[in-house]
């Protein structure tokens, strides 16, 4: 049986972004636009169960929002309305607003959606507020859904969204697509937000399975939307590629009992071939646009290298080292250096890997990264391969004390046993 509320929810997920974008084009304030759109949704929730879902639900919602906008204008809550304004002026403005909203819905164009995305991801906002606002305005998620995904109380999430809209409004952030020099940085902010959403779903070790998959899918959907909206930006395609390639391994990443399975141990027949193909196509697109040496493109190229190997042994580690070298040129991040050390260890042997790891540890210095358990864990692996078992088990023991994640601890303990066994037979 079809449930009208679920249908309304589905209509909302399809129509809300266009609706909010169309209203914001007139009100120039996404907070106000979202409230009006929400009001329209409330009206739909009241009427549709009785009257049925209208033929053109998008237009219906816009009409309802328009009515609310005129009401709001009348009450003087919008467009910095002055109280002493004469009635005729008010009437004229009402008419103008009504006309503008009417036209806006007919003409809602990709630019409006883009403006909405750029505004929601404005650097003036803290990153977590950008994430929440993006999921809310472009993802059509409810505050409760976003709160569940990020494991925070609904009230906290509600306040976060409220404050974000207030900040944008008070700072008079223009509802526009940035241009020129500003565009690059703003695109970066949008991509960061989308990638953080993806990672929230992809790497979180807690939270319900369903929510995590839904969040990953939403990030992918945002990535595909952006690829349509900003077709000339290579990093947009590269990020989409990176997400598709990582998500294609989803089914192989967990064992029967939900335990994490390392890339080298994964059953590669569980990888989603169609998704890999989509990822590779998006990466090639990014490369054709001349962005092959950029941040997300290099990461996607590394992922693609792994995906091309039919077995872990077939992995082209030499090429992966080269890609990490290029990535190091862009960002001297200790995490990139650590991953590079793993690749060097595979491509050139454990001794070379240790040298690379020392360089990575040097980069980490006294930063928070220095306390990252993967440093001793990788060192332990390399030492074991060199037959230096005592040092190896010391490093793994150190790694165990550095992680709070139970699954990681289990994996490390297993490795410790392996080292001890190898030491005995040596």
Partner 1 sequence: MRFMMMVIPKGYESATPDTVPSAEAVAKMTEYNKALQRAGVLLALDGLFPPSTGARISYTDGKATVTDGPFAEANEVIGAYWIIQVRSREEAIEWAKRAPMSDNEVIEVRQIHEMPDIP
- For 421, phi then psi, to 5°, come to -65, -45
How far apart are CB 252 and partner 1 at their closest, in Å?
Answer: 8
Q: From residue 360 to residue 399, what is the string marking binding to partner 1 with x (rule CB under 8 A)?
A: ----------------------------------------
Q: Does 261 bind partner 1 (CB under 8 A)?
A: no
Q: Does 222 bind partner 1 (CB under 8 A)?
A: yes
Q: Does 279 bind partner 1 (CB under 8 A)?
A: no
Which of helix, strand or coil describes residue 242?
helix
How far apart are CB 225 and partner 1 at their closest, in Å?
Answer: 4
Residues in contact with 356: Cβ distance below 8 Å, sequence separation at least 6, in sequence order: 337, 340, 341, 344, 345
Query: For tokens 């929730």, what's the residue?
Result: 45
DSSP 261: -
How far apart are CB 109 and partner 1 at their closest, in Å?
Answer: 10
Q: Residues binding partner 1: what is the number (CB under 8 A)?
A: 29
Residue from the set 120, 220, 327, 360 that interacts with partner 1 by CB under 8 A: 220
Q: Does 144 bind partner 1 (CB under 8 A)?
A: no
Residue from the set 1, 2, 153, 181 that interacts with partner 1 by CB under 8 A: 2
Distance CA 83, CA 256 (A): 66
Distance CA 355, CA 349 (A): 10
How far apart are CB 253 and partner 1 at their closest, in Å?
Answer: 11
Residues in contact with 60: Cβ distance below 8 Å, sequence separation at least 6, in sequence order: 44, 54
Stretch of residues binding partner 1 (CB under 8 A), selected from 4-12, 73-81, 349-357, 378-386 = 4-12
Q: b vs e for 67-76, b when ≥16 Cβ sit within 10 Å of the residue's Cβ?
A: bbbbebbeee
Distance CA 415, CA 65 (A): 60
Residue 264 CA: distances (Å) to CA of 267, 375, 380: 9, 18, 17
Q: Does 3 bind partner 1 (CB under 8 A)?
A: yes
Q: Does 106 bind partner 1 (CB under 8 A)?
A: no
DSSP 295: H
Calculate Rg over the CA atoms of the chain: 26
Of 97 and 243, nearer to partner 1 (C-beta) is 243
Q: Does 217 bind partner 1 (CB under 8 A)?
A: yes
How far apart are CB 199 and partner 1 at their closest, in Å?
Answer: 18
Under 8 Å between Cβ of 321 and 343: yes
How far apart are CB 226 and partner 1 at their closest, in Å?
Answer: 8
Distance CA 241, CA 6 (A): 32
Distance CA 420, CA 426 (A): 10
Q: From residue 5 to residue 24, what is the string marking binding to partner 1 with x (rule CB under 8 A)?
A: -xx-xxx-xx----------
Where on the chain is the footprint of partner 1 (CB under 8 A)?
A: 2-3, 6-7, 9-11, 13-14, 110, 113, 209, 214, 217-218, 220-225, 228-229, 250-251, 270, 272, 274, 278
């Amino acid at each position: 049986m079809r449930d009208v509320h679920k249908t309304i929810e589905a209509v909302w997920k399809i129509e809300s972004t266009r609706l909010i974008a169309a209203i914001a084009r007139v009100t120039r304030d996404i907070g106000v636009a979202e409230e009006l759109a929400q009001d329209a949704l409330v009206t739909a929730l009241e009427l549709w169960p009785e009257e049925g879902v209208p033929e053109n639900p998008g237009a219906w919602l816009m009409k309802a929002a328009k009515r609310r906008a005129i009401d709001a204008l009348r009450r003087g809550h919008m467009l910095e309305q002055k109280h002493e304004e004469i009635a005729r002026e008010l009437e004229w403005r009402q008419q103008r607003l009504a006309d503008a909203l009417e036209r806006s819905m007919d003409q809602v164009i990709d630019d409006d959606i883009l403006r909405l995305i750029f505004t929601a991801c404005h650097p003036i906002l803290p990153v977590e507020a950008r994430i929440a606002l993006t999921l809310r305005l472009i993802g059509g998620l409810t505050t409760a859904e976003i709160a569940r995904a990020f494991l925070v109380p609904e009230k906290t999430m509600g306040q976060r969204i409220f404050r974000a809209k207030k900040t944008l409004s008070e700072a008079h952030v223009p509802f526009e697509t940035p241009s020129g020099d500003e565009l690059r940085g703003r695109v970066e902010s949008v991509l960061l937000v989308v990638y953080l959403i993806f990672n929230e779903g992809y790497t979180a070790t807690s939270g319900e399975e369903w929510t995590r998959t839904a969040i990953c899918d939403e990030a992918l959907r945002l990535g595909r939307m952006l690829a349509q909206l900003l077709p000339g930006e290579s990093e947009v395609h590269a990020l989409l590629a990176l997400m598709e390639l990582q998500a294609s391994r989803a089914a192989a990443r967990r064992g029967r009992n939900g335990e994490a399975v390392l890339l080298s141990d994964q059953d590669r027949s569980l990888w989603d071939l169609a998704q890999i193909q989509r990822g590779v196509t998006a990466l090639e697109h990014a490369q054709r646009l001349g962005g092959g040496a950029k941040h997300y493109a290099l990461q996607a190229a590394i992922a693609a290298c792994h995906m091309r190997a039919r077995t872990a042994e077939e992995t082209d580690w030499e090429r992966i080292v080269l890609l990490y070298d290029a990535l190091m040129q862009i960002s001297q991040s200790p995490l990139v250096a650590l991953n590079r050390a793993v690749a060097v260890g595979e491509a050139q042997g454990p001794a070379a890997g240790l040298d690379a790891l020392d360089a990575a540890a040097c980069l980490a210095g006294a930063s928070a990264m220095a306390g990252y358990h993967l440093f001793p864990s990788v060192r332990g692996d390399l030492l074991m391969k060199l037959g230096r078992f005592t040092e190896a088990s010391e490093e793994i023991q150190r790694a165990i004390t550095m992680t709070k994640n139970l699954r990681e601890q289990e994996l490390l303990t297993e490795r410790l046993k392996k080292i001890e066994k190898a030491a005995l037979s040596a």
